[in-house]
Amino acid sequence: MKILLLPLLALLSCGKDSSYVYHSKTVSELTFSETHSVIGESGAVDIVWVIDNSGSMAVIQNEVIANTEKFMREFRLNRSLDWKMGLLSTAQSEAPYIGFRDVLDRTSADPIALFQGAVGRLGTSGDSTERSFTPVMNKLREFPGFLRPNAHLVTIFVTDEYEQSNVTARSFLDDMYRHKNGRKQLVKVYAALHAKDFGCQTSYGNQVEYANSVFEAAITETKGKVYSTCTNDFGVELANLGNEIVAAISSPVILLSRRPVASTISVNYKGAFLPGGPKTEGGFWVYDPDANGVRFHDMDFVDFNERFVKIDFDIDLGQDTTKL
How confident is the model at residue 225, as a pLDDT? Answer: 92
How confident is the model at residue 243, as a pLDDT? Answer: 85
How confident is the model at residue 23, as a pLDDT? Answer: 33
How confident is the model at residue 251, as a pLDDT? Answer: 65
Domain end residue (candidates: 222, 250, 278): 250
- CATH label of the domain that carries residue 101: 3.40.50.410
Same domain, 136 and 219: yes
Same domain, 304 and 195: no
**Residue 16 falls inside a structural domain:** no
Same domain, 115 and 226: yes
How confident is the model at residue 57, as a pLDDT? Answer: 92
* DSSP-assigned letter for residue 272: E
Low-confidence ranges of the chain (pLDDT < 70): 1-29, 38-43, 79-80, 203-206, 250-251, 304, 323-324
Same domain, 266 and 157: no
Same domain, 135 and 262: no
**Residue 264 falls inside a structural domain:** yes
How confident is the model at residue 49, as a pLDDT? Answer: 97
Same domain, 200 and 307: no
**Residue 212 falls inside a structural domain:** yes
Strands (E) in the chain, as ranges, are 31-37, 44-51, 82-89, 152-159, 187-193, 226-228, 253-255, 266-269, 272-274, 285-288, 293-296, 308-314
How confident is the model at residue 298, as a pLDDT? Answer: 75
**Residue 29 falls inside a structural domain:** yes
How confident is the model at residue 323, as a pLDDT? Answer: 58
Rg value, the chain, Cα:
25
How confident is the model at residue 245, as a pLDDT? Answer: 86
In the chain the first and final C-alpha atoms are separated, in Å, by: 39
How confident is the model at residue 15, as a pLDDT? Answer: 45
Domain end residue (candidates: 233, 250, 267): 250
112 close to 68: Cβ distance less than 8 angstroms: yes
